[in-house]
Structure 1
């Protein structure tokens, strides 16, 4: 298997056809998988916004004040309002806004970026990334994964994840297969689209490389049962249940590992290359 970045993608504007931009610059083959950073999809779909568009309500004012108090600097309640409006639910409000997006992805600050957005203050996630992937897939004729970068529980740093996909299943279901000792696997479901998104992120980068599209060539799904349930269902998500009951203990946790503080910053700049 090999991966390569698609060169020459221009700055994307609202109304641009992302599929056509890729098709003009990538010599695709049957079996390729195209990973597309959400940023250019969001820009094409007009998902830029200015802070002036958000009128903060009491919840946003409270969140900004409390996070600002923790950070030791003022936080803009308009940004907090943007996160609230882009969320179906906030699992935590401090020390960071951990949001459930309207399409089921869970991310700090509802995935809103403030980096590599030349004409606006904010870049929001696509409203329906899987529908976006479907449109690009129809143009290219190969599987498409729309990616973002996000943090991980219990680990430092970010990695690429899939937030939408089309033309292939999300996962390989290994349940019923056997390991080398003959034991039947009972729980293993491999999140293939996340693995490909993470691999693509090694090429798209996090800064100013200008490489938002990666082609994966030679990947084989294999003879396994497909599985499309990437986002864990609420009734089986015990961590989500625990977070709903959790309260931030400022006395115990304030002044902890400084590396943990970056995700509470309202300037989410973990974004893929634009």
Structure 2
């Protein structure tokens, strides 16, 4: 398997044809996987917003005041309002905001970015990343697209790439029912392929000012396995979420 970044992409503006910009710079093959950072997807879809687009309500002001008292830093209630509006559930509200986005992804601050946001204060995640991936796929030669983001993980330091949207490929490779090397039947192994592709592409894409937001994965074979689109856990099956709901910060 080979991974390489798409070179010389310009700064993406609202309304840009991202698929066309990619195909102008690289010769894609039908079986390539194109991993695209959510930042450029969001910019093309005009998800750049100003803080003034989110007048703070009472709940946002309450959250901002509490976070300021914990951290000793001033917190803008308009940012808290943006997080609330982009979320379906606030899982942790102190000492940081951990939320579920409207498409099921759990992340800090609803994945809202405040860096590299030319022309605004905030960069929101795509509204429906699966649909974003499908639109990109329709404009590319490659049959598989993964929209990526970076986020932290429980129990570990640091961030890594994850998939938040995908098209043309199952999310997971389902090994259940197959056999291990000793002949034992696998009963629980479901491999999150789109997350692994996102993490691999993030190594090539980089971070910060020198990042390259589109990476091509070549010669990846899904293999003769069952596929699954189950990536985000159902709430009733998510024991960690259930525990978090009962937890309260005590500083």
Partner secondary structure for residue 59 of structure 2: helix
Q: Distance in 2 between matches of 1:178 and 1:121?
A: 51
Q: Deviations over 1:27-47 (max 9, x none)?
A: 101211000000111001110
Q: Is the 8 A contact 2:152 2:160 kept in 1?
A: yes
1:179 corresponds to? 180
Q: Is the 8 A contact 2:29 2:141 kept in 1?
A: no
1:249 matches 2:250: yes
Q: Distance in 1 between matches of 2:249 and 2:211?
A: 38
The runs of 5 or more residues in structure 1 that have no matched partner are: 251-274
Q: Deviations over 1:158-180 (max 9, x none)?
A: 00000000011101000001111
1:197 corresponds to? 198
Partner secondary structure for residue 197 of structure 1: helix
Shift of 1:210: 4.1
Shift of 1:141: 3.4
Partner secondary structure for residue 43 of structure 2: helix
1:62 matches 2:72: no
Q: Distance in 2 between matches of 1:69 and 1:149?
A: 28
Shift of 1:136: 0.4
User: More deviation in 64-73 or 214-223?
Assistant: 64-73
**TM-score, structure 1 normalization:** 0.90
Alignment of 1:208-247 (within 5 A): 208-247=209-248
User: More deviation in 57-66 or 128-137?
Assistant: 57-66
Q: Deviations over 1:217-267 (max 9, x none)?
A: 1100011100111111111111111111111121xxxxxxxxxxxxxxxxx
1:91 corresponds to? 91
The runs of 5 or more residues in structure 2 that have no matched partner are: none
1:112 corresponds to? 112
1:42 corresponds to? 42
Q: Deviations over 1:59-80 (max 9, x none)?
A: 1111111111111111111100
Q: Is the 8 A contact 1:114 1:121 kept in 2?
A: yes
User: More deviation in 107-116 or 70-79?
Assistant: 70-79
1:127 corresponds to? 127
Q: Is the 8 A contact 1:9 1:210 kept in 2?
A: no
Q: Distance in 2 between matches of 1:222 and 1:150?
A: 28
Q: Distance in 2 between matches of 1:178 and 1:69?
A: 54
2:26 corresponds to? 26
